[in-house]
Amino acid sequence: MNQQATASQKTRAEQETENEANRLREQVDVALAAIAQRSPDEFDALQTAADRIERAARDLAHAVRELAQQRRAAEES
């Protein structure tokens, strides 16, 4: 119940940033699994993992910047 209370207190920007961070973690885990697996599709799997990590990292950076701007605006008001 404490987690639900804490989650409800987060702003939309905080929730989005947390979601993007979790998505990046998931993509890193997928990449690690692809590294461990040796298969005929290895090259494609690694390329796909790299692309997904790149997109997830870019999305996380964007979310963090939005959160920083939101917090700065809150401080200034």
**Domain hosting residue 50, numbered range:** 12-76
For residue 7, being part of any structural domain is answered with no
What pTM was estimated for this model as a whole?
A: 0.81
CA distance 30 to 50: 10
For residue 64, being part of any structural domain is answered with yes
Per-position DSSP letters for 29-59, written without gaps between them = HHHHHHHH---TTHHHHHHHHHHHHHHHHHH
Q: CA distances (Å), 58 to each of 4, 23, 24, 39, in order?
A: 28, 11, 9, 29
Confidence of residue 24 (pLDDT cuts 50, 70, 90): very high
The encoded tokens of residue 32 equal 């690690």
**Per-residue model confidence (pLDDT) at position 1:** 44
Q: How does pLDDT run across 31-74, given as a tens digit for each residue?
A: 999 999 888 888 999 999 999 999 999 999 999 999 999 999 99
For residue 53, being part of any structural domain is answered with yes
Tally of domains within the chain: 1
